[in-house]
Structures are given as structure tokens and as C-alpha cells.
Amino acid sequence: MVSDSKSAASLKFNDMEVDLPVYSPNLGPDVLDIRKLYAQGDVFTYDPGFTSTASCESAITFIDGDKGELLYRGYPIDQLAEKSHFLEVCYLLLYGELPTAAQLDEFIPRVTRHTMLHEQIQYFFRGFRRDAHPMAIICGVQGAMSSFYHDSTDINDPWQREVASIRMIAKMPTIAAWAFKYSIGQPFIYPRNDLDYASNFLHMCFAVPAEEYIVDPIVSRAMDRIFTLHADHEQNASTSTVRLAGSSGANPFACIAAGIACLWGPAHGGANEAALNMLREIGTVDRIPEFIERAKDKDDPFRLMGFGHRVYKNFDPRAKVMKESADEVLDLMGIENNPTLQVAKELERIALSDPYFVERKLYPNVDFYSGIILDAIGFPTSMFTPIFALARTVGWIAQWKEMIADPTQKIGRPRQLYTGEKNRDYVDVENR
Ligand code: SDX
């Protein structure tokens, strides 16, 4: 927990003066502790969207938006994407340190042997229309999981928290793959314990009972890297949703379902689906200027999907790695001159030379290139956000566990700036 404050800020207004302790983090800006402001100063702070508000103390992930830097437990994302693999990153995010070989040998089978779903759960899928968006299905099935795993819903029991965590990390690929299979009318493929995490997911998505399906190791490596790049990202909207749901004492399965619901939005995790749809709508390089002008037009709700970020005011480091992977995967899959990739690269070049984007520091984010890789692998755009949710499940869980274990945590309950009607008396309908 943060140590004693290094100094104090003094806030003077009206005839009051309130001292606000100042804490210094290991990385990032100092914070002003305003917890006593209302009691001592009878005022609220006002920060819709929390652009200047630290909602919690965390030791998991750090982003330097100006440098375009992302650290998982202190390790740079580009090093982890190159040298590590997703389940090792899961261990790092959950427990704070890179595992020894022995720890990894114990952790991986724990996940692998929890990838099956209770056989009854498949009937939840069958209750959806075949054309249901996979995000609707995984949100519903994830929430329903709490009705199956009563032995891991007591948040006050560290062992049950651990069991629920492993179950969700292990089962999310099966849930996402089965949502995909259901939407294309193919039979569910069961997980296989002889495959690694990413290969198992690909196998459940693309195998059919009628013939053997061999997972391409290049594709599996790219899939694993996409999971790593999406694993966690500080207090983004969906992680904050999970923390707020968890602060009420809701069971972990319900909290993760809340995170999935929030991630679905096009301004957040839904941007990768929207970004590829946008690139396809642009279609050819010569139509890019028309869309650039639309993105700048305040009267046009259109935005360049996959550009901009609440925190990054430089390149999203994940986009850099993703761009390299896009080139590698497309080349190795023999998809030269992919028109969508050509439009993406030219759009990036033009946008980053346009004063509108330069002045607002709008750079490609994680969602700009991920869709191109997923499309090349064979996923429909409707599966892009479920894959984001699959990867982010470990981040949501790590953040949720950190919050639950914090003895100072309490239910989240923001206040408001009320601009509604003042107190007034009821009027009978005949007098209105
Ligand atoms: C993710 O928080 C996270 O960490 C999220 C995430 C994670 O890993 O969890 O990184 C994942 O959600 C990435 C972001 C994916 N979203 C998109 O790609 C959608 C397109 N981007 C925008 O919707 C927007 O950039 C946001 C929502 C990402 C950020 O919005 P902000 O910080 O609230 O910024 P803003 O909307 O206030 O924009 C500032 C200015 C505005 O113009 P002015 O009012 O100053 O004239 O930039 C403009 C905006 O109009 N702007 C854009 C734009 N993004 C911002 N203009 C055109 N196209 C865009 N994409």
C-alpha cells in the first residue's frame, strides 16, 4: 500500500482551507488524496470520465501515455510479446513475478484441466438465436457460470477466489469458441489437453468432427501474442466496471460478465470490429481523404476507429507489435498485398501527417491492426471483441483479486453535480 504522504497540498476556497496529502507512486504523477475533502470542505470534486482521477492503488500494470510505454508488473509489453507466452503472462499478472520452470509446470496443467464446461452449460447456448452476436452469448454464459460453480463464489475465501480465477481463465476460450461455432451452425468442439492455450482455442474454433484439423504454429503464435497484448491495461472502462461490481461483493463470475458487457462498446473493445468494418468501407486508398474529412467534421459522428486513446498520446506500443505481426502473419499465410492492410498502412500514414490528428495526438491504438490479423486467420468481425474479452479476462481477474485483497477497499459510490429540479410539491393530475 502507498506509504506516508510526502507533503500536502493546500486547497483554499470561500473561507476554508483544506490540506490534501500528496502521495508519490513508484511510476507516474503524484496524487492528491481527496478522501477527506467533502468532510472537511463540504465540496465534491468533479471529473466526469475520470480523466484526472486515480480510482485505486494498483501494482499490476503501468502505462506512460506520453512515452507510449506499457508495463505488466514492470516488464515492457514488447519484451513479453517477443519472449514470453500468454499463460506465463497470466501467471505474472496474477502473482506478480515471472514463474520458475517448476511453477509454470504446475500452473499450466491447472488451467488446461479446467477448460471443459459443465455439460449442462451447452444448453444456454442453444437458447440463443443462431444470429446472436457472440458478445451477447459470452456475456450471458459467463454470468450464468455462477449458477454452476457455487464452490467458488465466496469472495472472502482466498482458495475459492483462486479456484474461480483459474476456472474463468481456462473456460473463456471454450465459451468464446462455442459462441462462434453456434453462430455458424457447426457442432461444438471440445477442448484438448494436448494443445497449448492458443492452439486449443484455434482448434475449438476451426476443427470439425468430420476431419482432423492441424493448427498452424505461426497462426497459433500470432494468436498467443494477441492474447498477451490485450491481457491488461490499468483502469480502463471495463476493468473499472469489474472493480465497481466487485466492490459490492458480487461473485467473481458476475463481475467478469459486467466487464464483458462494458468491453462490447465501440469506443472500447468493440473498436477492433468497428475498425476493420471501417477499413472495408473505405475499400481503396483513393477514398481515404473522404473519410479523414468526415472524421474531422464535428457535425459527423464518424470517427476513425482504431485511432486515439484516453491515455496514449503517442503510439500505442501494442499497435506497433500488432503491426509487425500483421505483416508476418499475412506474408507467411501467402496473403500478399492484402487490400485491407494496404488501406490501413496508407490511412495511418495520411492520418499521422494531418494536423488535426497530430495536434490531438491521435495515434493508432491496439484495435487498429488486430482486426487485420484476426480476419486473415479466418475470424468474422463479430468474433474480434470476444477474443479481446478472452484475453482481458486474466487482467480483469488480477485487478479484481487485488481489490478484494485490499483491506481498505469499500463499495464504490461516486457523488454527482446535481442540475435537476429543486424540492417541489406533488400536483394532482387535474391541476397539471
Ligand atoms: C481501447 O482505456 C483503455 O486502456 C482502452 C483500451 C484497453 O486496452 O482497455 O486501450 C482499449 O478501448 C482502445 C480505444 C479503442 N477505441 C477506438 O479506437 C474508438 C475511436 N477512438 C475514440 O472514440 C477516442 O479516441 C477514445 C474514446 C478512444 C478516447 O476518447 P477521449 O480520450 O475521450 O478523447 P476525446 O473523445 O475527448 O477526443 C479528443 C479530441 C476530440 O476532438 P476535439 O473535441 O478536441 O476537437 O480528439 C477527437 C475528438 O473529437 N478524436 C477523434 C478520434 N478520437 C478522438 N477524432 C476522430 N477520430 C477519432 N478516432
Spatial distance between the Cα atoms of 85 and 198, rounded to a whole number of angstroms: 10
Q: Which of 11-25, 59-73, 320-334, 399-413 has the lowest mean pLDDT?
A: 320-334
Pocket residue to mutate for ligand 1, from 264, 302, 309, 357, most atoms within 8 A of Cβ: 309
365 Cα nearest atom in ligand 1: 13
Instruction: Tell me what pLDDT residue 2 has.
Output: 61
**Mean local confidence (pLDDT), 30-54:** 94
C-alpha closest to that of 57 among 90, 24, 96: 24
Confidence bin at 413 (pLDDT 50/70/90): very high
Spatial distance between the Cα atoms of 142 and 255, rounded to a whole number of angstroms: 9
pTM of the model: 0.93
Residues with CB under 6 Å of ligand 1 are 233, 236, 267-269, 271, 295, 303-311, 360, 362, 365-367
> What is the per-residue pLDDT across 324-381, written as a single tens digit (0 to 9) for each?
888 888 888 777 677 888 898 899 998 889 999 999 999 888 888 898 899 989 999 9
Cell of 172: 473463456
For all residues of the chain together, what is the average pLDDT?
94
Query: What share of the chain has pLDDT > 70, as a percent?
Result: 99
Instruction: Tell me what pLDDT residue 282 has.
Output: 94
Instruction: Tell me what pLDDT residue 136 has.
Output: 96
> What is the per-residue pLDDT across 150-178, written as a single tens digit (0 to 9) for each?
888 899 999 999 999 999 999 999 999 99
Residue 269 neighbours by CB distance under 10 Å: 28
> What is the per-residue pLDDT across 218-263, written as a single tens digit (0 to 9) for each?
899 999 999 999 999 999 999 999 999 999 999 999 999 999 999 9
pLDDT tops 80 at residue 76: yes
Which residue in the list 203, 230, 233, 309 is annotated as catalytic? 309
Instruction: Tell me what pLDDT residue 3 has.
Output: 57
> What is the per-residue pLDDT across 265-286, written as a single tens digit (0 to 9) for each?
999 998 888 899 999 999 999 9
Confidence bin at 14 (pLDDT 50/70/90): confident
CA dihedral 129, 133, 139, 141 (to 10 degrees): 40
> What is the per-residue pLDDT across 80-127, written as a single tens digit (0 to 9) for each?
999 999 999 999 999 999 999 999 999 999 999 999 999 999 999 999
Quick check: is 309 catalytic? Answer: yes
C-alpha closest to that of 352 among 370, 368, 367, 364: 364
Residue with the smallest CA separation from ligand 1 atom 42 is: 360
